[in-house]
Amino acid sequence: MKTKKIAGSVWKINGPLEPSSNCYLITQKEPILIDIGERGNCDDIIKTLKLIGYNPETIKHVIFTHLHYDHIGNPKKFTNAKFYASEQEILSYNLAAQKTCIKNQEILDGIKLNKLPEIFNGLKVYLTPGHTRGSICLWYEEDKVLFTGDTLFKNGILGRTDLPTSIPGKIEQSISKIAEIPYKVLAPGHDYENVQ
């Protein structure tokens, strides 16, 4: 497991199993996690959070950039958290859980998914369909960090759009929505450096 402070109040945690998304912690008064990796990594992520000084009970909000299994970890471990995704992603999940998560959709059994408002604790939410129907990017202006989930990776690499709830024709339009954001740190869902 690796961890690194990537901006004033943002930590990145990732590894060791692949595929697993990066997990980001925003150390606000009400601590926020953005994506929680793959279920098999969850215990290691929790150990790492503790090292930074955050027990899982201290996490108040968990935001999913989308609901693929490698981003939703093991939410039941965060006993005091509320969970969020875009309205479109929740609709997608309610219509076809298996297709939305790709596999392991039972991870979300008993978890209440809340609709994310446009502005949430200093984060501006951009709906960026393409990789999935309800994928989002999140702009944390205070630290100039842009969280892009599986929509945009380093080197301008775009997310896959051949998955069950992808909308292939939409991703370029979605990218144009976030193109003008003056971010200093890109915080993607995975550290891909080459086209997958």
- The smaller minimum CB distance to Zn ion, of residues 54 and 192, is found at 192
3-state secondary structure of 100: helix
Distance in angstroms (rounded) separating the CA atoms of residues 47 and 30: 19
- The smaller minimum CB distance to Zn ion, of residues 15 and 122, is found at 15
Q: At closest approach, how far in Å is the CB of 89 from Zn ion? A: 11
Distance in angstroms (rounded) separating the CA atoms of residues 107 and 72: 8
- The smaller minimum CB distance to Zn ion, of residues 31 and 153, is found at 153
Q: At closest approach, how far in Å is the CB of 165 from Zn ion? A: 10
Q: At closest approach, how far in Å is the CB of 66 from Zn ion? A: 6
- The smaller minimum CB distance to Zn ion, of residues 89 and 150, is found at 150
Q: Residues 63, 84: contact at Cβ < 8 Å?
A: yes
Site for Zn ion, rule CB under 5 A: 68, 150
- The smaller minimum CB distance to Zn ion, of residues 38 and 150, is found at 150
Query: For residue 168, what is the DSSP state?
Result: G
Distance in angstroms (rounded) separating the CA atoms of residues 120 and 97: 25
Q: At closest approach, how far in Å is the CB of 67 from Zn ion? A: 9
Distance in angstroms (rounded) separating the CA atoms of residues 190 and 24: 11
Q: At closest approach, how far in Å is the CB of 51 from Zn ion? A: 27
Q: Over 106-159, what HEC string results?
A: HHHCCCCEEECCCEECCEEEEECCCCCCCCEEEEEHHHCEEEEECCECHHHCEC
